[in-house]
Homo-oligomer: A and B are copies of this chain.
Amino acid sequence: MPSSQDQTPGPVDPSRRRRPTLTDVAAMAGVSVSTVSRALDGNPRIPGETRQKVVEAATALGFRRNISARSLRTQSSMLVGVVVPDIAIAFYATVLKAAQNVLEAAGYQVVVMNTERDAQHETVALRTLQDRQVDGLLVATSGGYVPDRGPVVFFDHVIPDTGLGYVSPDNAGGMTTLVEHLAVVHGHTRIAFLGVPPGPTARTQRMEHAPATERLEAFRNVMGARRLPVPPEYLAYGDHEWTEASAQQAVAELMRVAEPPTAIIAAGDTLALGALRQLRADQYKVGTDIALVSFDDPVSSDLLDPPMTALRRHDRELGEISARMLLDALEGRKSGVAPKTEHPTETRVPLDLIVRRSCGCAPETPESEPPP
């Protein structure tokens, strides 16, 4: 079996000694290192002919710039840090990927860090990233230390009134949609909310604008606006990790109250899944005995039993917007024009209601839904 060598495209330094440096290229091309550097930059001061020579020498040697050296000199790493609670959660992974696409097109690479929803973790993550001299930050904060150095944009958990940019799902709008659907289309009045506990914990601080909090507030507001009661026992909470198990537990209790709700709004997809599991275990016929809708669309939720009515987020779009916002900041900073706030710095991206069956809606062309 041949070595993998035979496949690598382009010329490669045959003497496996040492990566060639600018000096080597300069020697081969018969010019100075500065000329090589400039030629490779596409600097217009270097005429085509010289550039030609340089490029030839460079490719002949298989020359690649040493990024550490460059970073040291330019004080810029072309690295963007992304910090998320948990990259294994579909939302964060999708946002990351989308953001990454636009960032890479601009020449940046991405380093990820997980905070495990822990402010401490987040603090060290952010510090590590600073040590790395990342040029910018994309963060779904867990409520910890907020960086005050360098361009940063938040997504998911939001930090308003601080001048720092953010883009986040339209939690208020989405919740309104959900409540309206339940209340006006289906006539529910006993609507419960299944979320995670509001307020800070030992592991997190500053939760005022966490998605969970925003959704709960919005729920209260629109219920209030419709003169619908929100008795405390209709507020069910899972745990801070949004686990299915905790939701299951919470729903079990919720359904044991004297006058159980006729509809449940789950504040997230995992919560909705937990709720569904528990309701099924308790022999409820979801969609007829009780309505269940979800903020955030679980994957393949059209195949669930019953198919779940939910809000679809535009995760990819959100990631792209965030990245572009960051790129703007990066560019602005580079060209020295700091407060060039021409682009909007706070964005909410809307959510779409996907009506399926768990809310009680009739099965219209049940299987026609195209896959994601």
Contacts and interface: CB of A to CB of B under 8 A. Distances in A.
A65 B372 CA distance: 46
Contacts of A202: none
A130 interface: yes
Contacts of A4: 145-148, 162
Contact of A72 (B68, B114, B302, B304): B68
A301 B276 CA distance: 13
A84 to B, nearest CB: 10
Nearest to A276: B303
Contacts of A368: 281
Copies per complex of this chain? 2
Contact of A370 (B87, B245, B303): B245
A105 interface: no
A164 to B, nearest CB: 8
A3 interface: yes
Interface string A269-301: 000011011001100000000000000001110
A9 interface: yes
Interface string A69-84: 1011000010100000
Nearest to A92: B93
A369 to B, nearest CB: 8
Contact of A303 (B132, B273, B372): B273
Nearest to A280: B367
Nearest to A64: B131
A112 interface: yes
A77 B68 CA distance: 8
A15 interface: no
Given A303-B273, A303-B304, A109 B132 contact: yes
Given A5-B148, A7-B145, A97-B88, A66 B133 contact: yes
A110 interface: yes
A77 B72 CA distance: 13
Interface in A299-330: 299-300, 302-306
Given A8-B148, A299-B299, 17 more contacts: A5-B148, A9-B145, A64-B131, A66-B131, A79-B111, A88-B96, A90-B90, A96-B112, A97-B114, A109-B128, A109-B132, A112-B112, A244-B372, A245-B371, A273-B371, A277-B371, A281-B367
27 contacts: A1-B161, A4-B145, A4-B146, A4-B147, A4-B162, A8-B146, A64-B127, A65-B131, A66-B72, A68-B68, A79-B111, A86-B97, A87-B96, A88-B94, A88-B97, A90-B93, A100-B112, A104-B113, A112-B112, A244-B300, A244-B371, A277-B367, A280-B367, A281-B367, A299-B299, A300-B304, A304-B305
Interface of A: 1, 3-5, 7-9, 64-69, 71-72, 77, 79, 86-88, 90, 93-94, 96-97, 100-101, 104, 109-114, 123, 127-128, 130-133, 145-148, 161-162, 205, 243-245, 248, 273-274, 276-277, 280-281, 298-300, 302-306, 367-368, 370-372
